[in-house]
Structure formats: C-alpha cells, structure tokens
Amino acid sequence: MTKYVKYVDVTKCDGCRACMVACKNWNDLPAEPTDFLGSVQSHAKTTADTWNVLQYIEHENGKGDLEYLFRHSSCFHCTDAACEKVCPENAISYTKYGSVVIDQDKCVGCGYCVQNCPFEVISLKTYKDKNGKEYRKSHKCTMCTDRLEEGLQPACVTTCHTGAMEFGSKEAMLPKADKRLSEIKGRFPNANIYNPQGVGGTHTVYVLAEKPSVYGLPENPRVPASAIAWKDYAQPIGKMMLGATTMALVGAFVTNRLFNKEGRSESQDGGGSHE
C-alpha cells in the first residue's frame, strides 16, 4: 500500500491559521480560549482539543535581521512511533496510509504515549461520565484518517490557500521537498528537510527555513532508549521469568508427590521431623 505524506513547506506559509480552524471544524474539537502568550501564537503547543497549532517564531538570523517564521505543527506520524510502542492496550496503531491513530475505545488514559512522544504532541483529556466519574482519553492529530478512507485529503491541507501544505504519496512528496530546498537555499542558508530518520522517517515532512531547534524541534528525535529497553526487553523477559519460576514450582510440587513417599511414611511411624 502506498504510504502518504503531508508535505509542509513553511516558507510558503503566511500564518493565516486556516489549518487550525479546518482541523477544529472537521474533528469537532471545542475551542480552547487562551490568554495572550506574548505573540500572535494562540496556544503554546498542541493539546487534546487543539491538534494543530501554528507557531510564530521571531528569530534573529546570522546577519542580524529578524525572521518571522511560521510553522504548522501537529503529529508527525512516525514510521517508528514511540507512542505505538509504549501503549499497554494496543490502542495506538499504524494505518495502511502511514498515519498513526489512537483507538478511543481501547485507550485507558494511562498517558504513557504522552510521556514518550519525542515531539510531545499527544495530550490527555479528562471527561466525566453520566455518573460524574472522571476518565481520561489520549488525543492527537489523526491525519484525518477518516477523510483519507473516503478519498479526501486532510482538512488542514485542503484549506491551505498558499499551497504551503500538500498531500500525496511519499514518492511524489519527497522530491518536491528536495526541489523546494534547492530553491530557497539562497534565501535561507540553514534551510533543511525535516524527515527525521531516528524514528524511521515521518509522514509529515517539512521544509524548514531554519534549524529544527529554532522551531523547538529535536535535532535527532528517536524512540526513547528507555522505551526499547522496557518494551522489547524488560516486559517479555519479566513474563518469561514469572513463567519459569511458576513452572519450576509446579515441577517441585509434582516431584514432591512422586519421590517423597518415604518422607510421608516416615512421619507415619513417627520418625520424621518435618511436620
């Protein structure tokens, strides 16, 4: 199956935030009023109800000039997703399109994915059931997988009026990114393609005007080593150890029954001293 990529060229973005509105609209997410944060930016980062946030960054480039940088930020849909690895309920899975989605029925709200996402885009939301009891669910951008299934493109992409976002097969999008990079290198010497290989590449690929760190992105994101040690080693070995000791004891119980007949007869004639 073809894998799809949301290609984001931040140098074409004009910061209109239509992507944020389209996302809220399609996904039926409630508005989250915030206080003034010191810039045009509405939210500090993505939240459980705000799956994409437009970043506004005032950056001084090497020549002493001010660059006003914009970035549409949302889930990266990693090829090796840490959230998928650590989810204890298998609630997070890869779709055939390459997107990473959370099954809301399976999610138990533990927050392991929130803590392990290298991009910190996942958040928990607290709900109240009809008895007033609180429960939590984990939320993030779905890449509009429900739209993809209907042959549509993600809502944010469809609405983007500058063409800063495009959606298509990985094979079609990555060359576009390469071409664009060569076009803007003169204007933005630090420009780069952000498709981090530490997580096997992502399904949201950026052309960034500045180094990733300028946008608050990790330079080399990976699935945390702790998550690999935990899920690939500690947990399976732990289960094996429990199985092994239990089997040893079942064995002990059986051999006691088979071989320790003398012990029992001994105590019958009063010679034994082990109860």
Partner 1 sequence: MSKQHVKPDMQVKRFSKAFVWAHAINALSFCALYITALPMYIEFFDWLYPILGGPANARLLHRIFAVTFVSPTVIYLIFDHKGFFHWMKELVTWKKRDLEFFTEFVKELFGFKFKHVKQTFFNAGEKMNSILQILCAVMIIGSGFPMWFPAYFPRAVVQWGYFFHNVGFGLAIAVIVGHIYLSVIHKNSRPGYTGVVTGKVPAWWAKEHYTEWYEEEEKKGNFPNLDDPKHKKGA
Residue 104 burial (10 A CB sphere; 0-12, 13-18, 19+): exposed
Binding mask 147-176 for partner 1 (x = CB under 8 A): ------------------------------
Does residue number 229 form part of the binding site for partner 1 (CB under 8 A)? yes
CA distance 145 to 4: 11
Tell me the number of residues near partner 1 by CB under 8 A.
49
Applying CB under 8 A, among 63, 130, 133, 161 the residue interacting with partner 1 is: 133
Does residue number 37 form part of the binding site for partner 1 (CB under 8 A)? no
Does residue number 200 form part of the binding site for partner 1 (CB under 8 A)? no
Of 37 and 250, CB closest to partner 1: 250
Residue 132: its H or E element: none
Applying CB under 8 A, among 79, 115, 190, 192 the residue interacting with partner 1 is: 115
Least CB distance to partner 1 at residue 46 (A): 16
Strand partners, 167: 6
Applying CB under 8 A, among 45, 59, 125, 136 the residue interacting with partner 1 is: 136
CA distance 68 to 78: 28
DSSP tag of 42: S
CA distance 192 to 213: 12
Task: Report the Cα–Cα distance between both ends of the chain, in Å, rounded.
Answer: 68
- Which of 33-41, 93-101, 168-176, 265-273 is the region at the interface with partner 1 (rule: CB under 8 A)? 265-273
Of 132 and 151, CB closest to partner 1: 132
Does residue number 216 form part of the binding site for partner 1 (CB under 8 A)? no
- Region for residue 198 given its phi and psi (left: phi exceeds 0; alpha: psi -120 to 50; beta: otherwise): alpha
Binding region for partner 1 (CB under 8 A) = 86, 88-90, 108-112, 115-116, 133-136, 224, 226-227, 229-230, 234-235, 237-239, 241-242, 244-246, 248-249, 251-253, 255-260, 263, 267, 270-275
